[in-house]
């Protein structure tokens, strides 16, 4: 009987399963216990097998016996030694024991169903709604507040997955919304509230910085200097794509006070510039501000706009007795693309508006107002700047209405009305600093009324530099003491004479100049030039200056001036102009002065027909 069992086992083992059978064995090995691919299963040696031919079979087929009682799939031979049913019928221990025991094999147990996943924990039942309070206080709403809106209704909960908790036929459970909180009781008539000061409600648009939001009071008495500094810092640090320019706003109807200190608004700023909008009034107490310093300084700004319909009052009456030791009112320094429009400056300690070291400045619709006897109150002071346009302005002051200092060029003054002051002045030049250079100046469509001087060029003796390429066109003057004046002996404080050298003045043109004078000794036209550096290339066309009293004759004064005249009243005789050529020493002196101002010495040379020298080639002219 034992040999029969071994023979059946040999027949079953020797039959190799097909490829499809291998797939079945592979899939069944995952589902049936005892038939798996455990590579860590212990191996049996040939000596432990009960029969020699089983030992040879074990060596040839490499059958691995698992400790769990089943044969294993061989990875290298890709064959199973027994099919799955035999693996259950003949586990290793039963197979080995069958060599000595002849009991029949046990019946095959039915296959086990696949294990089900553990059931999901049941969802907890919804919480019961809170019990409403036994008694609610009376719902009394304030008349000014709108009634509270009811809270949104929550959706009904989903039924749980377990049918034991809630059957499909059960109705859905709705959670009622919580009751609205009780409104505060109404304020009784006996309730007293403290009298608090009214806080102004300041609302600003995007990019607009109202100085009141930074602590400025605007009552004309409280010092707002620190608040203005904070407001400027916020406006200067503002950056946005639109609007590209921040606005520092002084609202209308308020008076902001700057007491005994200067305000310096220093850039550069973020974004595309800064707009200072003065619609109210700025009042200044200049008594504590150092001399020759600005009270309001705009420094290092690009795309600056100083505008508005307001007034800046310098309070200069308190310091006009200090001679020249006084501060300026407003100064723009080292800035570009500057626009000043709309505002009015009054009573400055020394100067109304000063423009220094700037490029690209436009001043229009601007006005100044100061007494005619206020000392050194220049309306517009231009120094070391280029590309400056002054137009559509009304200037009333006690000194130069427009003064052009050294190192300035490309200046246009047009459509300007001057009612008190010293007119349009170039200079003074040649003193503090000694070198002064002014070129390319256009004065057009200007009215001068009741002034001490009209069109003036003034230089100190002993100075260096040149004044050239200056054109006056379409100017009307009324009761001006010195309508046309070139003074190379200018001296503000005596003594000044005895100094060698002077600035060279040449290429000066007057055309369509009409007016009256109330001073007979001025002669209407006075050209007082230095013998060492005479004035040259002076031309006058269609000039008529008369005395304000009829039947009064004027005699023009010309000293060391080379030039020509046509249709000029009072008549300038030919003998009044210098004739002949310049000496080489004088020509060299003038050429040297021109070279100091950036020109070429060979641009000046001895010219024919008594004109002295040829004009330098200056092609710049942006006047329309």
Catalytic residue numbers, as ranges = 399, 422
Question: Distance of CA 564 to CAs 222, 523, 571, 573, Å?
Answer: 62, 18, 12, 10
Neighbours of 242 (CB within 10 A): 9
Taking the mean position of all CA atoms in its chain, how far away is CA 105?
A: 97
Q: With both helix axes pointing from N to C terminus, report the angle between 2-14 and 52-61 in degrees, rounded to the nearest 10.
A: 10
Helices H, strands E: what count in the chain?
A: 7, 30
Give the position of tokens 């001895």: 606
Before 166, cis peptide (omega within 30)?
no
Q: Which residues of 273-300 are buried (b: 16+ CB within 10 A; e: fewer)?
A: bbbbbbbbbbbbbbeebeeeebbbbbbb
Instruction: Give dist(CA 503, CA 506) in Å, integer.
Output: 10
Give DSSP secondary structure letters for 526-581: EEE--SSS-EEEEEEEEEEEEESSTT-----EEESEEEEEEEEES---GGGS--SP
Before 220, cis peptide (omega within 30)?
no
Instruction: Give dist(CA 199, CA 471) in Å, integer.
Output: 57
Residues near 334 by beta carbon (within 8 Å), at least 6 away in sequence: 299, 300, 356, 357, 358
Query: Would you state the structure tokens that stand for residue 222, as one six-digit string?
Result: 């409280």
Residues 496, 450 contacting (CB under 8 angstroms): no
CA geometry: angle 243, 244, 247, nearest 5 deg:
75
Residues 161, 123 contacting (CB under 8 angstroms): yes
Cα end-to-end distance, the chain, whole Å: 134
Neighbours of 120 (CB within 10 A): 9
Instruction: Give dist(CA 502, CA 504) in Å, integer.
Output: 6
Query: What are 471's strand-pairing partners?
Result: 442, 509
Residue 132: left (phi > 0), alpha (psi -120 to 50), or beta? beta
Taking the mean position of all CA atoms in its chain, how far away is CA 34?
A: 81
Question: Distance of CA 105 to CAs 5, 95, 165, 451, Å?
Answer: 11, 10, 50, 140
CA geometry: angle 420, 425, 430, nearest 5 deg:
140
Question: Distance of CA 309 to CAs 86, 229, 250, 298, Å?
Answer: 110, 21, 10, 19
Residues 352, 342 contacting (CB under 8 angstroms): no
Q: Which of 303, 301, 304, 329 is nearest to 315 (CA)?
A: 329
Instruction: Give dist(CA 445, CA 466) in Å, integer.
Output: 25
Question: Distance of CA 290 to CAs 45, 223, 326, 355, 545, Å?
Answer: 113, 18, 7, 19, 44
Q: Which of 320, 616, 612 is nearest to 470 (CA)?
A: 616
């Amino acid at each position: 009987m034992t040999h029969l069992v071994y023979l059946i086992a040999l027949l079953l083992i020797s039959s190799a399963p097909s490829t499809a059978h291998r797939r079945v064995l592979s899939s069944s090995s995952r589902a049936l216990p005892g038939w798996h691919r455990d590579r860590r299963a212990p191996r049996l040696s040939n000596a432990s097998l009960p029969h020699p031919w089983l030992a040879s079979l074990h060596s040839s087929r490499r059958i691995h016996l698992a400790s769990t009682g089943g044969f294993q799939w061989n990875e290298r031979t890709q064959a199973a030694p027994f099919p799955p049913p035999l693996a259950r019928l003949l586990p290793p221990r039963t197979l080995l024991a069958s060599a000595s025991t002849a009991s029949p094999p046990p019946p095959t147990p039915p296959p086990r169903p696949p294990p089900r996943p553990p059931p999901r924990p049941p969802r907890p039942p919804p919480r019961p709604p809170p019990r409403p309070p036994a008694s609610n206080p009376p719902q009394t709403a304030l008349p000014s507040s709108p009634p509270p809106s009811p809270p949104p209704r929550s959706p009904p909960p989903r039924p749980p997955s377990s049918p034991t908790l809630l059957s499909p036929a059960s109705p859905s459970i709705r959670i009622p919304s919580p009751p609205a909180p009780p409104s505060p009781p109404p304020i009784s008539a006996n309730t007293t509230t403290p009298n608090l000061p009214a806080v102004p409600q300041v609302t600003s648009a995007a990019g607009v910085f109202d100085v009141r939001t930074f602590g400025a009071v605007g009552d004309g008495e409280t010092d707002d200097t620190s608040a203005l500094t904070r407001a400027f810092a916020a406006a200067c640090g503002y950056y946005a794509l639109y609007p590209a320019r921040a606005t520092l706003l002084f609202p209308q109807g308020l008076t902001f006070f700057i007491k005994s200190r200067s305000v310096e608004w220093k850039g550069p700023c973020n974004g595309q510039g800064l707009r200072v909008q003065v619609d109210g009034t700025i009042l200044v107490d200049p008594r504590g501000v150092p001399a020759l310093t600005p009270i309001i300084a705009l420094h290092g700004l690009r795309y600056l706009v100083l505008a508005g319909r307001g007034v800046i009052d310098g309070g200069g009456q308190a310091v006009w007795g200090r001679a020249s030791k006084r501060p300026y009112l407003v100064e723009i320094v080292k800035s570009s693309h500057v626009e000043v429009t709309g505002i009015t400056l009054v009573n400055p300690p020394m100067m109304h508006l000063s423009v220094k070291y700037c490029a690209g400045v436009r001043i229009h619709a601007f006005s100044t107002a100061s007494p005619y006897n206020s000392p050194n109150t220049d309306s517009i002071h231009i120094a070391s700047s280029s590309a400056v346009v002054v137009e559509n302005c009304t200037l009333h002051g006690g000194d130069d209405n427009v003064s052009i200092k050294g190192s300035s060029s490309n200046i246009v003054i047009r459509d300007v009305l001057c009612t008190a002051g010293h007119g349009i002045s170039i200079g003074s030049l040649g003193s503090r600093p000694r070198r002064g250079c002014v070129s390319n100046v256009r004065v057009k469509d200007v009215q001068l009324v009741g002034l001490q001087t009209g069109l003036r060029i003034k230089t100190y003796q002993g100075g260096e530099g040149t004044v050239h390429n200056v054109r006056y066109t379409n100017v009307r003057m009324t009761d001006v003491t010195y309508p046309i004046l070139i003074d190379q002996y200018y001296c503000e404080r005596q003594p000044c004479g005895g100094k060698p050298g002077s600035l060279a003045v040449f290429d000066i043109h007057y055309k369509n100049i009409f007016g009256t004078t109330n001073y007979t000794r001025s002669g209407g036209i006075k050209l007082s030039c230095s013998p060492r550096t005479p004035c040259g290339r002076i031309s006058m066309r269609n000039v008529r200056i008369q005395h304000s009293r009829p039947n009064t004759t004027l005699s023009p004064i010309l000293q060391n001036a080379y030039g020509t005249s046509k249709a000029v009243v009072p008549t300038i005789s030919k003998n009044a102009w210098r004739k002949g050529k310049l000496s080489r020493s004088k020509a060299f002196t003038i050429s040297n002065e021109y070279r100091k101002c950036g020109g070429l010495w060979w641009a000046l040379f001895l010219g024919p027909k008594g004109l002295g020298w040829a004009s330098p080639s200056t092609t710049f002219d942006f006047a329309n």
